[in-house]
Amino acid sequence: MTIDRIIETIKKNHPEAEVGIIKAAYNFAQKAHTGQPRMTGEEYIQHPLETAYKLAQINLDLETITAGILHDVPEDTEKTLEDVEEVFGKEIANLVTGITKLGTIKYRGLERYAENLRKMFVAMAEDVRVIFIKFADRIHNLKTLYALPPVKQQRIARESLEIYAPIAGRLGMEEFKGELEDLSFPYVYPEEYEWIKEISEKKYEEQKRFTEQVSKIVNKDLKENSNVQLIKTEGRAKRYYSLYQKTMRKEMNIDKVYDIVALRIIVKTLEDCYTTLGHIHKLWVPVKGRVKDYISQPKPNGYQTLHTTVFGPDGRITEFQIRTKEMHEEAELGIAAHWAYKDDKEDFKIPTQKLKWIKDLLEEQKKVTSPKSYLKTLKLDFFKNRIFVSTPKGDVIDLPEGATPVDFAYHIHTDVGNKCMGAKVNDKKITLTTALKNGDIVEILIDKKRKGPSEEWLRFAQTHLAKNKIKSYFRKQKKINIFKLFNN
């Protein structure tokens, strides 16, 4: 990697960009890292350059790219954070400071590991760009993981799979999430990786040819029978780790996975999205229950796309995703799309609602008594696959996969949870043990005379929030009963 290639990437999108700061950062880092080799044998400067190149590829602002070049300077050279601030200013120095804190996240026992993770979320809450740099840094480290001892390979890959990839997912950064997962997969689950790679190769090729055939039919129909302004139609191959997870849910049978290659249609306007959906449904019969409108009801991380699955040519099940160019950028880059390069920093629109979960997580950490339970909370409540359900008024609630009406009720309010006596999903009564599904509209039925929850709920509640509220109620009841006993 060269600094010229990074500048070329920036200039490709923004010919007017003042890249003097990028050149200055390179000269500063090159001098600071002189004589330092990496475990691969290459010069150390290659790592910060690769990190910065990844950030430039997703069109981030110059400050973030500059911090990417400088991110290892204070930790690995004689230059200090004060030196960085003196030359490059406070904003870039703060980003480098955040990265320096994240650099210490290594497994050194549960207590220190939990504390270091907490520091990471504090840094993200202060400036979310810190985690973009960390993702780019981690992706290059995973690409060169072969040079490290097996124990380190396993630790870094597992941490990437269990911590960093889910964070990228929560931020809507699907491109980074997929890359982190696929680079970690062969180290964490080597046998499963080889298996999925082997069984999917023929399927990929066969389904790619099929989607090309379907694409021609759709393009022809839209061109001849509509005013849709089509930008492009492309086949989106499912990534290896994502395919492995889905195969696991399908009893290890890849023949039951219908979206190995899905068709993505990118159009110019919102109206074009719905018109395209209508034309696809005229061409082929939709599969019942598989039409999802994430445009009118976006996911909390900002994802907007129309999904539909149809019985395509020869009755073959075929999946489509329909979105505009702006929706596509948001889907691939998530919150990072809001930090794209702009001439005027005042143009930045930081969607604070999309970062609310970070503050929720920091609040939750204050309530957790042990590092072990904190890590368990992270993996179950915050990093597990998410579902998006809504109240009858249309408020979207973000819950972990497998969540029940009880989890939903306590997410709304403690009193709603305590007085819950049943639930309706999509206007149909269900049991409290029923697992909610993506897109469900949930109504909690209240019994105002009910005094509190049932201990039985602890058996099927999924979130720590719900379990803690239920346990808290019974702890209070126990204290009340003891008090009554001693006062009788």
pLDDT band of 107, cuts 50, 70, 90: very low
Whether residue 357 is predicted with pLDDT greater than 60 in this model: the reply is yes
Check residue 22 and give its pLDDT: 95
Instruction: Tell me which residue has tokens 């997703």.
Output: 58
Q: Is 428 helix (H, G, I), strand (E, B) or coil?
A: strand
Instruction: Write out the two tokens for 315.
Output: 């009755």
The 10 Å Cβ neighbour count of residue 67 is 32
Share of the chain above pLDDT 70, in %: 86
Residue 340, phi then psi, degrees to nearest 5: -60, 155
d(CA 38, CA 334) in angstroms, rounded, equals 32
Beta carbons of 176 and 199 less than 8 angstroms apart: no
Q: Which of 296, 299, 293, 290 is nearest to 330 (CA)?
A: 299
Residue 429, phi then psi, degrees to nearest 5: -65, 140
CB proximity list for 442: less than 8 A, separation 6 or greater: 389, 390, 391, 397, 405, 408, 423, 424, 425, 436
Which range, 99-108, 289-298, 367-376, 419-428, has the best average confidence (pLDDT)? 419-428
Q: What is each CA distance from 463 to 323, 364, 391, 417, in whole angstroms?
A: 33, 12, 18, 13
Q: Is 183 helix (H, G, I), strand (E, B) or coil?
A: helix
Task: Return the active site residues.
Answer: 75-76
Least confident among 42-56, 90-104, 336-350: 336-350
Instruction: Write out the two tokens for 149.
Output: 């001892």
Angle, alpha carbons 124-126-131 (nearest 5°)? 25
Check residue 382 and give its pLDDT: 65
Higher-pLDDT residue of 314, 344: 314
d(CA 31, CA 462) in angstroms, rounded, equals 52
d(CA 161, CA 167) in angstroms, rounded, equals 10
pLDDT band of 281, cuts 50, 70, 90: very high
Instruction: Write out the two tokens for 72.
Output: 């290892």
Instruction: Write out the two tokens for 218.
Output: 């759709």
Check residue 402 and give its pLDDT: 86
CA 14 vs. chain centroid, Å, equals 28
CA dihedral in degrees (134, 140, 146, 148; nearest 10)? -40
Q: Which of 59, 63, 67 is nearest to 12 (CA)?
A: 59
Q: What is each CA distance from 29 to 36, 102, 370, in whole angstroms?
A: 11, 19, 40
Check residue 342 and give its pLDDT: 60
Domains of the chain, first to last: 3-188 (1.10.3210.10), 190-334 (3.30.460.10), 384-486 (3.10.20.30)
Least confident among 59-68, 70-79, 343-352: 343-352
Check residue 341 and give its pLDDT: 65
Q: Which of 42, 67, 55, 71 is nearest to 10 (CA)?
A: 55
Whether residue 260 is predicted with pLDDT greater than 90 in this model: the reply is no
Whether residue 106 is predicted with pLDDT greater than 60 in this model: the reply is no
Please state the rounded mean pLDDT for residues 220-246.
Answer: 88
Q: Which of 34, 10, 32, 37 is nearest to 21 (CA)?
A: 10
Whether residue 344 is predicted with pLDDT greater than 60 in this model: the reply is no
Higher-pLDDT residue of 477, 352: 477
* Model confidence, pTM: 0.75
HSE-CB of 375 using CA atoms within 13 angstroms: 16
pLDDT (tens digit per residue) in 174-194 = 889 999 999 999 999 999 999
Helix axes 325-333, 174-188, angle to 10 degrees: 40
pLDDT (tens digit per residue) in 7-18 = 999 999 888 888
Instruction: Tell me which residue has tokens 């994802």.
Output: 303
The 10 Å Cβ neighbour count of residue 163 is 20
pLDDT (tens digit per residue) in 288-324 = 888 989 998 887 777 899 999 999 898 888 899 999 9
d(CA 188, CA 92) in angstroms, rounded, equals 34
Check residue 133 and give its pLDDT: 94
| Mean pLDDT over the full length of the chain | 85
pLDDT (tens digit per residue) in 435-464 = 998 778 899 999 988 989 999 999 999 888
- For the chain, count helices (H), then strands (E): 21, 11
Whether residue 105 is predicted with pLDDT greater than 70 in this model: the reply is no
d(CA 319, CA 164) in angstroms, rounded, equals 28
Q: Which amino acid is at 134?
A: K
